[in-house]
Amino acid sequence: MVFVGWLRWCLVMSFTCLLLASCSINPIVEKSLRIGTDQTFPPFEFQGTGGELQGFSVDLIKAIATAAKFQVEFQSLPFDGIIPALQAQTIDAAISSITITEERAKTISFSRPYFKAGLAIATRTDNTEIKNFASLKNKKIAVQIGTTGAQTARNIPGAEVISFDSAPLALQELANGNVDAVINDEPVTLYAINTGNLQGIKVIQKLLTEEFYGIATAKNSSYLSLINQGLSKVLNNGKYQQIYQKWFNATPPILPETTPFTNQEKARLNSLSLIWQSLPNLFNGVFVTLQLAFLSVFLGLISGSLIGIIRLSHIKPVQWLARAYIDFFRGTPLLVQIFMVYFGLPAFFQELGFTWSINRLFAGVIALTLNSAAYIAEIVRAGIQSIETGQTEAAFSLGLNPAQTMRYVIFPQAFRRMIPPLGNEFISLLKDTSLVAVIGFEELFRKGQLIVAENYRAFEIYAAVAVIYLCLTLVTSQIFGRLETWMNPVKKSS
Ligand code: ARG
């Protein structure tokens, strides 16, 4: 008995010692902050060749975390999704070269400034017409969605602004000769030019504005003081200078000690009025969406039917060719196809020494058509093959030739069977048009994104966008339903 008591006492004591020892090694468990960042903004935040996140902001936030004793957990987000994510508290803070602006400060809070930057205009090296800000009037300008560059471009009279998901895509658009200029943060444009990744581009006016970057948090977040403490420490202990030197090979400028635009409040519009106000803008997008869908489905039907029929050919190589086409376009993501057509092909020709650019509508329609033709070809093939061979034999015995047999006997029956899958294809295509937003098309989804980039009301706007898509697809399925009944001789007569 005594022995058991003694053993228990020993166990309790050793466990307590272990606990104390571990506490003295790691007295407090550091909290982990989810830090959002758009990783397409070199040299501030970007992925290295091995996929590792790096850049000035990345080194800085790590140094701040060490100084203020917290852990960093990076989360990749598109730039225009950062403020909505902060509001929704799916991230705790964001470091993404975010300029501290009065408008943004009404929705989120900023740390003290950590970098002094500004916007710059970039053009192609052979452009002699654009010399300054004033000469951008009536020009085509590419920007990154939701940025201060986008805001500035929108205020230029007559300018056509095309927004992309990332700054490198906007710059690529300029290099491909599709736009006259890009307005973007100067260090980023310069870095792209200096690293030699983009050719034929120059910066014509530096530091159009003075901007300060801040680390963003949700409005009045409790993490703000922790981040500010860490940032101040890093600024004072020489670490900041070291990181600045590493990325910019220069000594940093003096930064203001406090953040401007604190205590900004915004009058919040109620949801219904907000949606109501946005509707005209969204309807402009609906028009573009429908235009894209109709054009692509029309062209897809013609080319898809041809490919479908070729697929049934008895000549083997022709049949294989059709098969290869279908396999390729069904087997690769539409998004990749859009990028290939719009960015890839012009860049490829550029390397060969030709300047060839492709019109946006043309590129969008081509990519959607190529893709839908592959699906339609299969629908047509299966439709035709579903008609029993007895029908062909009967037609032949009546003296019809193969073309007449196809035209009067097989196709009308096959077409009726093709209607439901064609309806499905049209509905998918209607939704897939949202993918061409990546090439700066202002169709319905991109219109919604642009509105959110201005008012940060993600829920209401995306809900409205979803409802509009739903109405479009419901109407489409109604139309196809009617077409099916109309084409069915039995149901039609009853
Ligand atoms: N400084 C600009 C702004 O706040 C652009 C920032 C873009 N940042 C990024 N990681 N893509 O609007």
CATH of the domain at 196: 3.40.190.10
Instruction: Indicate whether 9 belongs to any domain.
Output: no
123 and 109 part of one domain: no
Under the banding of pLDDT at 50, 70 and 90, the label for residue 197 is confident
427 and 293 part of one domain: yes
Instruction: Indicate whether 23 belongs to any domain.
Output: no
Under the banding of pLDDT at 50, 70 and 90, the label for residue 69 is very high
Give the integer Cα–Cα distance in Å for 40 and 96: 9
Under the banding of pLDDT at 50, 70 and 90, the label for residue 280 is very high
Q: Which of 79, 165, 189 to mutate to test the pocket of ligand 1 (most atoms within 8 A of CB)?
A: 79
Instruction: For residue 215, report the distance from its CA to the centre of ligand 1, in Å.
Output: 12
For residue 343, the domain's CATH number is 1.10.3720.10
Instruction: Indicate whether 297 belongs to any domain.
Output: yes
Task: Identify the domain containing residue 160 by its residue range.
Answer: 119-209
Does the beta carbon of 99 sit less than 6 angstroms from any atom of ligand 1? Answer: yes
Instruction: For residue 37, report the distance from its CA to the centre of ligand 1, in Å.
Output: 10
Q: Domains in the chain: how many in total?
A: 3
DSSP 254: P
240 and 310 part of one domain: no
List CB contacts of 312: < 8 A, sequence separation 6 or more: 319, 381, 384, 385
Give the pLDDT confidence of 173-183 residue by residue, as tens digits: 999 889 999 99
- Closest C-alpha to 209, from 238, 241, 186: 186
Instruction: For residue 150, report the distance from its CA to the centre of ligand 1, in Å.
Output: 10
Question: pTM score, two decimals?
Answer: 0.85
Instruction: Indicate whether 263 belongs to any domain.
Output: no
290 and 426 part of one domain: yes
149 and 86 part of one domain: no
Instruction: Indicate whether 72 belongs to any domain.
Output: yes
Instruction: For residue 99, report the distance from its CA to the centre of ligand 1, in Å.
Output: 7
Instruction: Indicate whether 15 belongs to any domain.
Output: no
Instruction: For residue 149, report the distance from its CA to the centre of ligand 1, in Å.
Output: 8
Which three-class secondary structure state does DSSP give residue 479?
Answer: helix
Give the pLDDT confidence of 387-411 residue by residue, as tens digits: 999 999 999 999 999 999 999 999 9
Percent of the chain whose pLDDT exceeds 70: 94
Is the pLDDT score of 110 beyond 80? yes
Does the beta carbon of 296 sit less than 6 angstroms from any atom of ligand 1? Answer: no
Does the beta carbon of 148 sit less than 6 angstroms from any atom of ligand 1? Answer: yes
Give the integer Cα–Cα distance in Å for 152 and 49: 32
Q: Which of 97, 183, 261 to mutate to test the pocket of ligand 1 (most atoms within 8 A of CB)?
A: 97
Give the pLDDT confidence of 455-488 residue by residue, as tens digits: 999 999 999 999 999 999 999 999 999 999 998 8
Average pLDDT, the chain: 92
298 and 436 part of one domain: yes
Does the beta carbon of 80 sit less than 6 angstroms from any atom of ligand 1? Answer: no
Instruction: For residue 79, report the distance from its CA to the centre of ligand 1, in Å.
Output: 7
| Whether the Cβ atoms of residue 92 and residue 41 lie closer than 8 Å to each other | no
275 and 352 part of one domain: yes
Neighbour count for residue 103 (Cβ, 10 Å): 14
CB-based burial of residue 344 (10 Å sphere; 0-12 exposed, 13-18 middle, 19+ buried)?
middle
Q: Which of 61, 96, 164 to mutate to test the pocket of ligand 1 (most atoms within 8 A of CB)?
A: 96
- Closest C-alpha to 243, from 451, 95, 415: 95
Is the pLDDT score of 10 beyond 80? no
Instruction: For residue 237, report the distance from its CA to the centre of ligand 1, in Å.
Output: 27
CB-based burial of residue 428 (10 Å sphere; 0-12 exposed, 13-18 middle, 19+ buried)?
middle
Q: Which of 38, 143, 147 to mutate to test the pocket of ligand 1 (most atoms within 8 A of CB)?
A: 147
Instruction: Indicate whether 25 belongs to any domain.
Output: no
160 and 47 part of one domain: no
Q: Which of 75, 76, 98 to mutate to test the pocket of ligand 1 (most atoms within 8 A of CB)?
A: 98
Ligand 1: residue whose CA is nearest its atom 12: 147
Q: What pLDDT shows up at residue 5? A: 64
467 and 359 part of one domain: yes
Query: What average pLDDT does this structure show over 94-104?
Result: 97
Q: How many CA atoms lie within 13 A of 335 on its CB side?
A: 5
Q: Tell me the pairing of strands 45-47 and 53-54.
A: antiparallel
180 and 324 part of one domain: no
Give the integer Cα–Cα distance in Å for 348 and 354: 9
DSSP 177: T
List CB contacts of 267: < 8 A, sequence separation 6 or more: none
Give the pLDDT confidence of 417-442 residue by residue, as tens digits: 999 999 999 999 999 999 999 999 99
229 and 242 part of one domain: yes
Does the beta carbon of 189 sit less than 6 angstroms from any atom of ligand 1? Answer: no
Q: Tell me the pairing of strands 93-94 and 211-213.
A: unpaired
CA 148-444-341 angle, to 5 degrees, is 80
Instruction: Indicate whether 173 belongs to any domain.
Output: yes
472 and 389 part of one domain: yes
**Cis omega before residue 420 (within 30°)?**
no
